[in-house]
Chain A
Amino acid sequence: MKKIVLSIMLCSVLLATPAMATQGLAFIHGTGNQTDAYSDYWTGSFVNSVRQGLNDPNKYTVINCDFDQFMWDSQAAGCLANQLTSFITNQNITELVLLTHSNGGNIVRWVLSNPTYDSRYPNIISKVSKVIAIAPSSLGTPLADAVNQGSVFETSLGWLLGYGSDAVSQQQVSWMNYYNQNWLHGTSGRPSLPVIFKTIVGSDVESAFWDGDSYCAGYQYQVALETTQNWLDSCSDGFLNCSSQTGAGTQWFIDKQRTRDSEPLSHQQSRRDCFNLDLIIKNDI
């Protein structure tokens, strides 16, 4: 009799449970040609903390593409589509969360805004449940313009993350205005994106040498980004104005609203496990 009751209960539970979605998470880096974004762009401590928010923390992928190219390039969006399609297929993903940083948000917006450009795009879009865009360069940055000043190009030496590339040209303010108005969705007055695209905004750079928080993700970056703030608004993360970061999709939060001790996130810190950013994202997934 006990066995029968147990069987009935088990059957009831199984019948009452809808088909479980298979959640997946993709980390999508910003400008640069990455071959090991796990180590070089995000760091393992950030990735491994955020992915704990998944039902199965192993269902994640870290994208490695050449985002020095224009967003539509086969080595940029094409590469992203390849890697996402493989991930979706191999892991049977039905609900995909895309976590982007910086220009990675633009590459994803390209895919979401131009579904007919590539026959792989519609399937990817149909699986995406949301995009969490950390500090996306949706409206470009005046720094990209400053890099390209002059009557002829300064072909460059020693540009560490590929700045000076097509991706940097693309992120010039008036260039992004053109792309937003003609090729991308999600900005003011343009059709909305087909999925949620919510942004995390970095609003300041702190580089006080006596403040331990200035050392998260590297003190030297904070000093440099504080200098680059001279080209930016009073609200910026050292690389992007807040207005650019909120230029597409919907604002999720501005760093200080949720980070530990209301610490701001510089552009360098917003891809690292600084001030509980990793935990905030983990809990949202």
Chain B
Amino acid sequence: MKLSTITKTILTTASLLCVNQFSAAALIPTHDSLVTVPVVSHQVERTSVHFSQPIAASQQLSSAIDSYTGISDEYWIEVSGKQLNQGIDLDVNHPQALIRLSAKQTKGAWLPDDHAIDPQDLSLFKNQRSIANAFSQKVTREQLATASIFPNSSAVKIAKKAGVGKFKLKVSKTLKSNQRYLINVKEKGSAYQQVLFSERQSYLAGQTITVRAAINYRERPLKNTKHMAFIKSPTGISQAIDYQTEQGKIRLAIPNDLPATKPGQLYELHISSQGRDGSSSIKRNGKVAFAVAQPTARMTGNVTANNQSAQIGLEVASEGRYEVSGIVFGYNKNKVLMPIMLSASAHYLQAGIQQVTLNFDPEILKSSSLIGPYQLRSLKLTDQSRMAVLHRNHVKQSNAITQLNK
């Protein structure tokens, strides 16, 4: 079926803005929010590139845009060498937990040669009594380094007979007192799990993040669980934040003073949770990575289309390379809308009002068994030069449709 030229813009992205401005899933910059930022210093493609690919009609495109669920059965604490020599308290709620001990090398502080903790120097106490043969597995720094993953680290697995509860872990060899160590307690298979849920991982500067947090015992949330949060930037800097917690929801406005990132890098919202179940104390750590985009451009809502392409109106505030993409849908014989083709076009643009072309591939339409009237959905705008998702319409938001043919 041939596509006829569309004569008017139908239900534009601008109208979507009005409908969804309070939606948690909204990623729609406004005119007033646009910012002008310098041209990126790295090399960026200048040639306009168009690409279309068929999408199988049977493919299910997700209705969850950008959500994330993180599950943690572990926690970590930071201690000094002095504390390890004196003995540190560890809550363990699952048999045969693994304890990893990693010497931290922070900027400007080189690790001493003898930083690694030999598992032979570790003792485990319960009720102030030393546990004989407390570890079923001891992994040295050299063995862990062979896996090319954990540096400066050793690990032990608590023997099954030691059970669970409150332990004290002590290092007999004298450590440098101010050397920092990260102690990671991994309770693989534990029924106590921290569950973090975020509806999104993509934000525009100034928006609000909401994360649901809980420690569950199987499916049951522990009551009175406390959560503490901070943001870690990609450069490794931690930042205290103002946030509200209410019924397991952690809510915070994205701070304006987050350190700049390299394009595409993410920030992390770290959440430490602590709960009680009877006499047991349960600790868990988890995090949600998120992107914060500077709104360098937006779709104006002006969209026209014909059988070859769509013209998309953009308001560009910062020079750069921008991609517009969308999915063309058609009807099957039961009159159900199905995806046919994903099309994307990228252009290097100067600041100002722009009309960019999103090319379709008529051959893909011809070879599809789906028929018109076709619809263009899931319009998305990205700033490729800054690796930022700027503007996105949900695939099932029916008002994000531009009909290509009536």
Q: Which residues of A contact B (CB under 8 A)?
A: 70, 72, 74, 114-119, 121-122, 125, 143, 145-147, 149-161, 163-164, 166, 169, 172-175, 177-178, 181-183, 188-192, 194, 220-221, 223-225, 227-228, 230-231, 238-239
Contacts and interface: CB of A to CB of B under 8 A. Distances in A.
B314 to A, nearest CB: 15
Given A175-B266, A225-B147, A146 B184 contact: yes
A227 B144 contact: yes
Contacts of A152: 104, 106, 232, 236-238
B155 A227 contact: yes
A224 B105 contact: no
Interface string B326-349: 010000000000010010111000
Contacts of B61: 189-191
Given A116-B344, A224-B147, A191 B65 contact: no
Interface in B69-83: 70, 74, 76, 78
Contacts of B76: 149-150
Given A122-B49, A151-B78, A172 B151 contact: no
Nearest to B55: A191
A164 B151 contact: yes
A115 B43 CA distance: 17
Interface in B134-151: 137, 139, 143-151
A190 B62 CA distance: 6
B182 A192 contact: no
B118 interface: no
A153 B236 contact: yes
Given A174-B289, A224-B144, A228-B149, A182 B182 contact: no
Nearest to B66: A181
B70 A182 contact: no
B150 A147 contact: yes
A178 B323 CA distance: 18
A117 B44 CA distance: 9
B51 A115 contact: yes
B346 A117 contact: yes
B242 interface: no
B152 A157 contact: yes
B106 A154 contact: yes
Nearest to A177: B68
* Chain B interface bracket (under 10, 10 to 19, 20 to 34, 35 or more): 35 or more
Main secondary structure of the interface of A (DSSP, over half): loop
Question: What 3 pairs between A and B have smallest CB-CB spacing?
Answer: A189-B62, A153-B236, A224-B147
Contacts of A119: 45, 47, 49
Contacts of B98: 230
A119 B50 CA distance: 9
Nearest to B378: A191
Nearest to A194: B53
A149 B70 contact: no
B152 to A, nearest CB: 7
Interface string B37-52: 0000011010101110
Contacts of A117: 45, 49, 323, 346, 384
Contacts of B59: 191-192
A231 B59 CA distance: 33
Given A115-B51, A117-B45, A190-B61, 20 more contacts: A70-B265, A115-B53, A116-B344, A119-B49, A122-B49, A122-B51, A146-B100, A146-B186, A149-B184, A152-B106, A152-B238, A155-B236, A156-B152, A157-B111, A159-B148, A163-B148, A169-B234, A178-B289, A181-B201, A227-B139
A155 B107 contact: yes
Contacts of B102: 154
Contacts of A163: 148-149, 151
B34 to A, nearest CB: 20
Contact of A223 (B45, B146, B265): B146
B146 A224 contact: yes
Most buried by B among A143, A152, A156, A158: A152
B50 A220 contact: no
B24 interface: no
A29 to B, nearest CB: 13
Contacts of B184: 146, 149
B105 A157 contact: yes
A151 B230 contact: yes
20 contacts: A116-B51, A116-B346, A119-B47, A122-B51, A143-B149, A151-B230, A151-B270, A152-B106, A153-B235, A156-B152, A157-B152, A175-B266, A178-B68, A178-B291, A188-B62, A189-B63, A224-B144, A227-B155, A231-B186, A231-B188
